[in-house]
Amino acid sequence: MKGPQLIRKLSCFSGSITKPHRLTYTRTYPTLLVNPDGSTFTIRYPEPRQIIKLPLNIWTLSEAERKQKLELRKPKQKMVIQEDIEDSFDSSRYLNYLKKK
């Protein structure tokens, strides 16, 4: 007689205990792909994403367009507006409207 043997009983419930061990999943999701020129088309992507925007290569642009795109990337400076409010409110004019108890 041989030593103890490992007997594994598989059933329909054993599949729900663990995840499927795959490197690539067969399910793909419809995803909108946006090119740098603004054109779009739908692709099948293995991860659930709604939209993918491809980056713009600024080195393929002309010098003027490159400067314009780099200026748009810089942070905007916030404009501070200070208002001078003229306050001519006199509370003593409204004392007659207060009711004394």
Residues 6 or more apart whose Cβ sits within 8 Å of residue 61: 69
Q: How many CA atoms lie within 13 A of 22 on its CB side?
A: 7
Amino acid at 100: K
Where are any strands of DSSP class E within 1-101? 29-34, 40-45, 51-53
Q: Is 0.85 topped by the overall pTM?
A: no
Instruction: Provide the residue-wise pLDDT of the chain in tens; the chain has 101 residues.
Output: 566 777 767 666 665 566 666 676 678 899 999 998 899 999 998 888 999 999 888 888 899 999 998 999 899 888 888 887 888 888 888 888 887 66
